[in-house]
Amino acid sequence: MPTMSIKQALNEALREEMRADPDVFIMGEEVAEYQGAYKVTEGLLAEFGSKRVIDTPISEEVIVGAGVGAAMAGLKPVVEMMTINFALLALDQIVNHAAKYYYMSGGQYNIPLVVRAASGVGLQLGAQHSQNFESWFVHVPGLKVVLPATSRDAKGLLKSAIRDPDPVIFLEHELIYLNKSEVPDGDFTVPLGVADVKREGTDVTIITYSRMVLFALKAAERLAKEGISVEVIDLRTLRPLDTRTVIDSVKKTHRAVVAEEDWPMCGMGAELIAQIQQEAFDYLDAPVERVSGVDVPMPYAKNLEKMAVPGEEELYSAVKRVMQGV
Amino acid sequence: MAITRSGAHTVELLDKLPREEHLEMYRMMVLIRRFEEMAGKKYMEAVIGGFCHLYIGQEAVCVGIQSVLRPDDYAMGTYREHGQALAAGMDARAIMAELFGKATGVSKGKGGSMHLFDKSRNFMGGDAIVGGHLPIAAGVGLSIKYRAADQVCVCYFGDGAVNEGAFHEALNISGLWKLPVIYVCENNLYGMGTQVTRASAVPDLSRRVSGYGIESAHVDGMDLLAVRNLAEVAVRECRNGNGPYFIEAKTYRYRGHSMADPATYRSKDEVEEWRVRDPINLFERQLLDKGLMKDADVQRISSEVDQLVDECVQFAEESPAPSPDALYEYVYASEEI
Ligand SMILES: Cc1ncc(C[n+]2csc(CCOP(=O)(O)OP(=O)(O)O)c2C)c(N)n1
Ligand SMILES: [Mg+2]
């Protein structure tokens, strides 16, 4: 199997879907001539021309809104928000329009739209450029929310998202774009709404997504040496949520750590804990532990930023806490 | 680039169009008026719930515009869209059923007064976020251009929407990409209780788009033929690749903003001044004077329309409410396909 970066995997997904379906097009700030702020759309303008790879003004609301309109009129737009921070200017289009038309039109207008965005913490980018908003979107019925952690998932999930008849928020962690991993040859997809057990284990389950998956795998490696067997679930899609995989695993291991890079308040971890206690309370041998970003706007200074962002260390100690007394 | 269409063109149009077309436009205006009166009545009886915004007084605008569209053209409106939906040819009975929240409604009872949709007529709602559907109209325009088709998309909105950011983003991109979208600003002088002069730095709204390279014009929105005349120009320009086009139709709503609004912020005299130029009366007089319509036609159309509106109510009353299963229906298309 060839190895490639997440960035390259995303690029291949876009390229293949655009080749396969003339209704697929991409639009956003700097996606064409500049080839993408993170170079995800590299080479697409040259191959598909300016009709299908469209540079827009810096106008997030109309970028997403025009995607909604084009989708209603039969096309399959992929719109890029340069980063998720700027998608807040398009929140009305995402929440009030893209997520609502299918329902309030009584099933007449579905919105096959993908909103892609670089997301997550950066490196010393400060409070406005270093954030996660997946919990905002996950909150909304009508949206699907996808966050890949590996190259294979990035490619397969993006292809599924483009073929999906509903609006999909596709969040690409900006610090792992260049991470390389294996990607199968040929046309494959990874279904939306299906979690992936990235490592099997028997003592405790870490449930997480996006870049935190990589930290979870590292922590699991380290804990294995201490005789603790950690199962790592990569949710991949937060909505629809694959509750089944989570609950089955917790029933097996009897211990769980939920982890997100996002802030803790009303975050994904809170939702996971609620579902676990509802469906697997009697199976738990310890309270569920939560790992998250620190509840402050992101500071600039290197030392403070390091304190604000969760990683391997936080996961390691959380697992040790749920394993206490064993 | 503001052009004012004058009465001269109107007279030409009166001669030019076949009589049946005149009668159909007249009938549509009367239907909208009577439909809205009935909706208001049913709202007062608490049969219709939520917010209900009536179109009474503005009939000439959407009837004039829709009369020059083809069936494959697109239209979308605001929460004040009953009239536009009717003028787009949607089934009046199914619209009333939607207001009643019934399963037979145009949106299966899931939308309500503010969210009327009909894909078979390319009527895309019914959007209740002020200015929120303008970017979407731009996207429909983009899709037309993408397919190299010669359709147009008409987007109706009020005077209040011109102060939203979405308006300016949508108009800029439409001008930049020359999208075949006709933006129809129905300036009824008020956004809820706020008069245009208290909301827009430049009250001449057709000038608000002067920075976007868009052809714009204003028209007397109480004069059906004047509206139609300008709409023809706008549609022709858009079909020929010279879009977008911005139309400011100066009009007036006789009722409050919604059924809940007694409209105390304006004088009775002001309302009366506008009523003197009532769009239906004006057109009726034009047709009678020209001999295109007889008193008997007026009577016949009136009773036909009344009968249809009664049928609408009966249909809506007799229709079932959505089944409980419908609660979870149409959240995700992937679950239906
Ligand atoms: C973004 C947004 N802000 C506020 C409202 C509440 N609201 C609904 S209609 C309206 C007035 C709009 O006036 P106008 O655009 O002139 O349209 P009209 O009602 O006169 O047809 C307001 C403030 C809303 N629906 N959406
Ligand atoms: Mg108004």
pLDDT digits (tens, 9 = 90+) for A51-90: 999 999 999 999 999 999 999 999 999 999 999 999 999 9
CA dihedral B89, B90, B93, B95 (to 10 degrees): -130
What does the pLDDT read at residue B203? 92
- List the one residue out of B126, B132, B103 whose CA is nearest residue B113: B126
What does the pLDDT read at residue B9? 66
Domains and CATH numbers, chain B: 8-320 (3.40.50.970)
Instruction: Tell me the β-bridge partners of A186.
Output: none
Q: Is the pLDDT of residue A21 over 50?
A: yes
Whether the ω angle into residue B244 lies within 30 degrees of 0, i.e. cis, is: yes
Place of tokens 């406005």: A128
- CB proximity A93 to B under 8 Å: yes
Q: Is residue A245 a contact partner of residue A277, using CB atoms and an 8 Å limit?
A: no
- CB proximity A104 to B under 8 Å: yes
* pLDDT per position as a tens digit, A187-196: 999 999 999 9
Helix (H) or strand (E) holding B169: helix B165-177
What does the pLDDT read at residue B246? 98
Integer Cα distance of B281 and B153 in angstroms: 29
From B76, B78, B130, give the residue whose CB has the most ligand 1 atoms within 8 Å, as the site to mutate: B130
Closest ligand to C-alpha of residue B132 is 1
Contact A92 B132 (CB under 8 A): yes
Q: Residue A325: which pLDDT band, with cuts at 50, 70 and 90? A: confident
Q: Is residue B166 a contact partner of residue A61, using CB atoms and an 8 Å limit?
A: yes
Cα(B131) to centroid(ligand 1), Å: 8
For B171, list phi and psi in degrees, rounded to 5.
Answer: -70, -35
* pLDDT per position as a tens digit, A28-47: 999 999 999 999 999 999 99
In chain A, residues under CATH classification 3.40.50.920 are 196-322
End-to-end CA distance of chain A: 41
- pTM surpassing 0.95? yes
**Angstroms from B28 CA to nearest CA on chain A:** 24
Cα(A71) to centroid(ligand 1), Å: 25
In chain A, residues under CATH classification 3.40.50.970 are 3-182
Q: Is the pLDDT of residue A314 over 50?
A: yes
pLDDT per residue, tens digit, chain B (337 aa), is: 444 444 556 778 898 999 999 999 999 999 999 999 999 999 999 999 999 999 999 999 999 999 999 999 999 999 999 999 999 999 999 999 999 999 999 999 999 999 999 999 999 999 999 999 999 999 999 999 999 999 999 999 999 999 999 999 999 999 999 999 999 999 999 999 999 999 999 999 989 999 999 999 999 999 999 999 999 999 999 999 999 999 999 999 999 999 999 999 999 999 999 999 999 999 999 999 999 999 999 999 999 999 999 999 999 999 999 999 999 999 999 987 5
- Partner residue opposite A166 with nearest CB, options B142, B169, B332: B332
Cα(B183) to centroid(ligand 2), Å: 15
Encode A84-148 in three state secondary structure: HHHHHHHHHHHHHHHCCHHHHCCCCCCCCCEEEEEEECCCCCCCCCCECCHHHHHCCCCCEEECC
Pocket of ligand 1 (CB under 6 A): B 78, 80, 128-130, 158-161, 188, 190-192, 257
Question: To probe the interface with A, which of B319, B330, B336 has the most A CB atoms within 10 Å?
Answer: B330
For domain A3-182, which CATH number applies: 3.30.930.10, 2.40.10.120, 3.40.50.720, 3.40.50.970? 3.40.50.970
For domain A196-322, which CATH number applies: 3.30.420.40, 2.60.40.10, 3.40.50.300, 3.40.50.920? 3.40.50.920
Q: Is residue A117 a contact partner of residue A84, using CB atoms and an 8 Å limit?
A: yes
What does the pLDDT read at residue A1? 87
* C-beta atoms surrounding B8 within 10 Å: 9
- List the one residue out of B120, B89, B77 whose CA is nearest residue B27: B89
Query: Going by C-beta distance under 8 Å and a sequence separation of 6 or more, which residues neighbour residue B164?
Result: B130, B131, B132, B134
Question: To probe the interface with A, which of B119, B122, B169 has the most A CB atoms within 10 Å?
Answer: B169
Burial grade of B126 (CB within 10 A; 0-12, 13-18, 19 or more): buried
Place of tokens 């700030």: A29
Q: Is residue B61 a contact partner of residue B29, using CB atoms and an 8 Å limit?
A: no
Q: Which long-range contacts (CB under 8 A, 24 or more apart) does A35-42 make?
A: A36/A80, A37/A82, A37/A83, A37/A118, A38/A7, A38/A118, A38/A172, A38/A174, A38/A177, A39/A7, A40/A7, A40/A10, A40/A11, A40/A14, A40/A80, A40/A116, A40/A172, A40/A177, A41/A11, A41/A14, A41/A80, A42/A11
Distances (CA, A) of A288 to A168, A253, A322, B17: 30, 12, 7, 75
What does the pLDDT read at residue B12? 84
Report chain A's mean pLDDT, rounded to a whole number. Answer: 98
